[in-house]
Each structure stands twice: as structure tokens, then as C-alpha cells.
Amino acid sequence: MANNVRSLPYCLSTTQTPSRSPSQLVRDANKHHIPFKTPPNFQPSPFTREFIQSLGNKLAIETLQETARKLEEKVRVQINGTNMEPLSLLELIDDIERLGLSFKFEEDINKALLRIVSIENFEDRTGKSLHETALLFGVLRRHGFDVSQDIFMRFKDEEGKFKAEISNDVEGMLSLYEASYLSLEGESVWEENAFSRTHLMNLMKEGLMDAKMTEKVRHVLEELPYHRSGFKLMAKQYIDRYDKIEPHNLLLLELAKLDFNMEQSSYQNELKELSRWWWDIGLSSNLKFARDRLVEFYIWSLAMFPEPHLAMCHKELTKVGQLLTVLDDVYDIYGTLDELELFTHAIESWNVNSINTLPDYMILCFLAIYNTVNGMAYDIFKERGIICLPYLTKSWSDLCKAYLQEAKWFYNKIIPPFNEYLQNARISVTTGVVLTHSYFLVSKEITKPGLHSLTIHHDLLSSSSTIVRLTNDLATSMDEIERGETSNSIISYMHETSLPEEDAREYFKTLIDKEWKNLNKYLVMNSIFPKSFVQVAINFARGSHYIYHYGDGVGRQNNTIKSRIESMLVYPFHLMCHDDVEKKKF
């Protein structure tokens, strides 16, 4: 796809020019009347234009690539070795994935897993330990193998409960805890989540583990479960921890560090290009009420598209994410109801002439969206011959109508019933826009059933939307309550049930768990969508957990999310010299 940087407003050269000049639009854009709502105290982005443009590792990429190729071949030999025990092979595969290297070895990993499942009665054989069994269950499900939960039967008593003696198996409990997050609706393996968590916490309290194991258990229980985390975003932390484990695979560790440094250099270059785009379209300098969250949405795009070859997707979805943030602020805090009605109509008609009805600040916002989306549709058609603009514009139209509904609830002081709120919120959380654009970016084959499923908000999209919505509201609800918000899931649920906020939050966690069980089924079943898109839809939900797990990672960043973003973008690993790497053996 062409990496075009377009300045606003490119469309005015070929369409009717508005009665106000572009200079007047810019000059008057911030002279709006009193905002529709009390503006939140959004912090300025800590990742300024100057910060982004200063990024640069100055790596000798060609030399690093050659070293990486040699290390990859050594790792590949080990994966494909026929003399490795199943447990050792599973642990190697698990480490490769957690270190962020799985995309280098996809074919090798699949072949290795096929070798394991081809072993006669492999489910019974792997009953040697709970750790091996749970690890097998988790790794196979992540890779789309429909392994049965019956694999755990040998560890249960006649009543179907886990035998008491396994509760002291710390490694087994950890693997069981992680594996439980891959359960499907109706499977009893999910019940082992609470079982394993409880016993691990008790073991910590009783001091029955050494310091290293205690720290490992504490980290697993406090952090996001691996299956719900942005795999690529967590690789940096796993590399740091893996480096401290003895013994460890030194060449695998060095490959992970080297690969991270090379990808970090790519991320820096992509962000610099995006920063120039964001500066050129002028919204950050002219719409002062809106959030500048370019870097945060770039990080979310890395969660959605962790594959290194999808740099174009990183850039396009970051643009979409930043424009969605501005649009959200227009509807949520700045526009009057009359103005929002006009803007919604303009987006629905997708006609540049409609800008003559809009106030100045909305003209800038409309043209930014119009130009960016049209440009993306043009590039997709030019390179692949796919007409996607009607589907892209419909997703924006549906979003604006959902935003407008929330504005009407606020204006009329209506607290909607919880289910009514959630039905609208599945759209207003932007999943439809994000995943519709993603579908055309990653799907090699575009089908009519797939397109139809996009427009009706398919079950896959619905579960992803619900997770994103609820994780967002769990992190941002207090700020919204303070400024008099009425359309918020927690507010609606508390108003409907008369339950306290703490109960509402616990209920939402059960809803999130339920939607994850639904998403998990798409890992092991055929879908109307290609596997590449299914993974993106699941990764979108993972990105929301990463962004909102430590608080509001978009509205009010805290030091935790800030430092993690910086670790992804700024700080490379120290590498061994080339000769030392060559001398090391597995």
C-alpha cells in the first residue's frame, strides 16, 4: 500500500469550495461556545512530536539480520529434532511464543505439535504431570487444535473435582491457571481457574515456596493472563524475566533480544511517519479540546497486528484510532446536540458539500476522516482491486449514530437500561470501524458472506466489542461519573439493579469471562472469516486489556503504562558480540 501523506483539505481542489476560507476555518476552530459537557482534565500526551522524532537506535540492521538468520536455524534444528521429549518440546514452544518469536517458526511449531498429537493415546500419555498436561492443553488450543478438556480427567476424583494432592504442585497449578483461560462455554476446566488461583495464593501466604517461585507466582496472578495479553507487548517483560531464570536457552534468549531490537527500530520509523501525518493534518494544533493519543493507539495496533510484516496495518489502524479519539471527544464533550445531528448526517451522506452546514471545528474533523478513509479505500482498490469504501463509510456512519444516541441520553438526562446501553455501546466502542478496516487490510480473500457478517455485527465482533467496552468502562467510569455521564455501563447497571459499584464491577468481570469463552471457540472451529481476521478480532480485545489493565491508558495515563510504552519504543537490549554468540551451544 502506498504510504501517502495527505494534507487537508485535498478534496477541496476538486469539489465545491466552502464559503469560508481554509485560513478562517483554522482561525475560528477553537472559538466555539461553551462545551456541551464539562470537559475532562485530559493530560497532554507525554509522547510529544519532538519525542517521537528523536527516536532512533542506529542499528546495523544488515549485520543483525545475518546473525538472526544463523540463530534461527539453530533454534529450528532443535524444534524439528525427533529425540526431544514432549514436555521439553512444549516448554520450548511456549518460550518461543512468550519471547515474541513465534512468527519466525510458525510452520516448525505446527509440525512439532502434529508430531505430538500423532502419538497414540497422546492424551493419556501426557498425564505424567499436571504441568505437562495443562501446558499441552494451552499450547494446542492457542494453535487451533480441538483438544478435549477430558485430558485432565486423570487428576480428578470420582466427583469430578481435582484431587487434593495436586494442590501443592506449584508448577502444575501455574500451568492449570493459564490453561483455564482457554476454556469454552460449558467446560468445567474454567472452574479450575478459581481452584488454581486460590491454592497458589495460599502457597504464597504459607511461605511454602522459595523466593524465585514466589515472585513467579505473584507475577502470574497480578499480571494479565497470557492468553488475554497482547503477546507482542508482553514479550519485553518476558525477555527480562527469562534472562534471570537459570538454566535458560542462551541462544534463544539472544535471538529474542536481537529480534526485539530490530523490530523496535521499525516501530520507531513507523511512528515518525505517523507523527508527520498527524502534524500535517492539523487536528492536534487546531482542536485543542481533543486528545492526542497517537502513540497509545500505535501500541494497540501492535497488539492487533503482532506479525512483523504487517507494518502497513500498524500505520493505517493507528490513523483510524487517532481519528476515532478526536471524534469521540467531539461527541462526548464538545459538540452541542444540534451540531452533532448535523455532523452525523454529514458522515452518513459522505458528501463533502455537507460541510457547509457544519461549524468550523467540525469541518476540520470531517475532512480529516473523509480524506483518510477515502485515501485508504483508494490504496486498497489500486493494489488489490477491492471496492471497500461503502463498507468503510457505513461503519463510520453506524458509529456516529451510536455516539449521537449517547449524546441524546446525556442531553435528556436519561439513564438507559443496561441491555439497551450495551447494545448501543458495542457499536460506540468503535469495534465496527476498527475491524471493518482490518478485514480489508488482512483478509486475502474477501467474500460476500464475510462482508454481510461485518455489516450485521457478527457474533465474533460482538464478543470482541463487549470485552473492549467493559474493560474501558471499568477503567474510566469514575471520571465519567464525576462529569455527570449517564451513558456508562456501570451507571446503567447500578441504576437498574440498585447494587453498589463493587458488585457491578464483579458482575462485569464475569461478563468479560463469558465473552472470552465465546471468542475461544473461534480458535478451534471454522468460521465465516479467515483465520487472519479472527486473530485480529481476538487481538483487539487483548489490546483493550493491555491499555486498561493499569487504569485509563488513553484518557489519563499513569506511570505504569507510560513506562511500558517507553520500554517498547525507546530502550533496546544489550546484545552479546557476534563472536560470543557463535561460540555458544544449546
Residue 548 is placed in which grid cell? 486498561
Cell (9 digits) for 391? 463498507
What's this model's pTM, rounded to 2 decimal places?
0.90
As for how many domains the chain has, the answer is 2
Question: Looking at 53-62, 321-330, 442-451, which range is the least confident one?
Answer: 53-62
522-526 contact pairs (CB < 8 A, 24+): 522/460, 523/141, 523/142, 523/144, 523/182, 524/141, 524/144, 524/145, 524/146, 524/184, 525/146
Residues 78 and 109: their CA atoms lie apart, in Å, by 11
CA 162/CA 475 separation, integer angstroms:
35
Residues 99 and 211 in one domain: yes
DSSP string for residues in 135-160: HHHHHHHHTT----GGGGGGGB-TTS
- Rounded to 5°, angle at Cα 187 from 182 and 193: 55
Would 314 be classed as within a structural domain? yes
Residue 28 in any domain: the answer is: no
Torsion angles phi and psi, residue 162, rounded to 5 = -65, 140
Burial string for 182-210 (b: 16+ CB within 10 Å, else e) reads bbbeeeebbebbebbbebbeebbeeeebe
CA distance 270 to 319: 12
What are the tens digits of pLDDT across the range 241-261? 998 887 789 999 999 999 999
**Whether pLDDT at 85 is above 80:** yes
Tell me if 47 is assigned to some domain: no
Task: Report whether 109 contacts 102 (CB < 8 A).
Answer: yes
Question: What pLDDT score does 525 carry?
Answer: 93
pLDDT score of 19 more than 60: no
In angstroms, the CA 497 to CA 257 distance is 51
Residue 3 has pLDDT above 60, yes or no: no
Question: Does 252 lie in the same domain as 307?
Answer: no
Residues 389 and 441 in one domain: yes
Q: What is the DSSP secondary-structure string of 445-499? A: S--HHHHHHHHTT-HHHHHHHHHHHHHHHHHHHHHHHHTT----HHHHHHHHH--
**pLDDT at position 555 over 80:** no
Task: Please give the residue range of the domain that contains residue 87.
Answer: 71-256
Residues 365 and 283 in one domain: yes
- Give the domain-ending residue among 256, 276, 292: 256
Q: Choose one of 197, 232, 256: the last residue of a domain.
A: 256
d(CA 468, CA 444): 26
Neighbours of 525 (CB within 10 A): 11
Domain end point (choices 195, 229, 256): 256
Taking the alpha carbons at both ends of the chain, their separation in whole angstroms is 41
The answer to whether residues 418 and 562 belong to one domain is yes
Query: Which of 468, 485, 540 has its CA nearest to residue 331?
Result: 485
Hey, is 39 helix, strand or coil? Answer: coil
Taking a C-beta distance cutoff of 8 angstroms, is the pair 141, 147 a contact?
yes
If asked whether residues 265 and 344 sit together in one domain, one would say: yes
Please tell me whether residues 289 and 227 are part of one structural domain.
no
Average pLDDT (536-544) is 96
Q: Are residues 533 and 433 located together in one domain of the fold? A: yes
CATH at residue 76: 1.50.10.130
Q: Which residue has the cell 488513553?
A: 554
Q: Do 543 and 467 lie in a common domain?
A: yes
The grid coordinates listed for 367 are 475532512
Number of neighbours of residue 383 by Cβ within 10 angstroms: 11
pLDDT bin (cut points 50, 70, 90) of residue 1 is: very low
Distance (Å, rounded) from C-alpha 281 to C-alpha 320? 13
Residue 53 included in any domain:
no
The model's pLDDT over 347-385, given as tens digits with 9 standing for 90+, comes to 999 999 999 999 999 999 999 999 999 999 999 999 999
User: Same structural domain for residues 119 and 268?
Assistant: no
pLDDT at 209: 86
For residue 504, the model assigns a pLDDT of 94
Length of the chain counted residue by residue:
586
Give the C-alpha separation, 137 to 295, whole Å.
36
Is residue 161 within 8 Å of 155, Cβ to Cβ? no
Q: From CA 384, how far away is CA 426, in angstroms rounded?
A: 30
Q: If DSSP codes are grouped into helix, strand and coil, which group holds residue 162?
A: strand
486, pLDDT greater than 70: no
CATH number, domain containing residue 263: 1.10.600.10
Give the count of beta carbons closer than 10 Å to the beta carbon of residue 93: 22
pLDDT at 476: 79
- How high is the pLDDT of residue 39? 55
Q: Determine the Cα–Cα distance for residues 439 and 451; give it in Å rounded to an integer.
A: 9
User: Which stretches does DSSP call E strand in 30-90?
Assistant: none
Residue 167 corresponds to which amino acid?
A: S
Show Cβ contacts of residue 186 under 8 Å, excluding neighbours closer than 6 positions: none
Does a structural domain hold residue 60?
Answer: no
Average pLDDT over residues 458-464: 97
In the prediction, which pLDDT does 81 show?
87
One domain for residues 84 and 196:
yes
Report the distance separating Cα 523 and Cα 531, nearest Å.
8
Provide the pLDDT confidence category of residue 46 given band limits of 50, 70 and 90. confident
Please, where are the H alpha helices in 282-336?
Answer: 283-286, 294-304, 311-329
Cα separation, 441 vs 444, in Å, equals 8
18 occurs within a structural domain = no
> Does residue 17 belong to any structural domain of this protein?
no
Cis-peptide, bond into residue 247, ω within 30° of zero:
yes
Q: Is residue 155 a part of any domain in this protein?
A: yes
Check if the beta carbon of residue 20 is closer than 8 Å to that of residue 33.
Answer: no
Neighbours of 24 (CB within 10 A): 12
Residues 317 and 446 placed together within one structural domain of the fold = yes
Helix (H, G, I), strand (E, B) or coil at 309: coil
Task: State what percent of residues in the chain have pLDDT above 90.
Answer: 67
Which residues make Cβ contacts (< 8 Å) with residue 339, sequence separation at least 6? Answer: 358, 359, 362
Task: Return the pLDDT at 586.
Answer: 43
- pLDDT tens for 267-306 read 999 999 999 999 999 998 899 888 899 999 999 999 999 9
Q: Which residues pair with 162 in a beta bridge?
A: 156
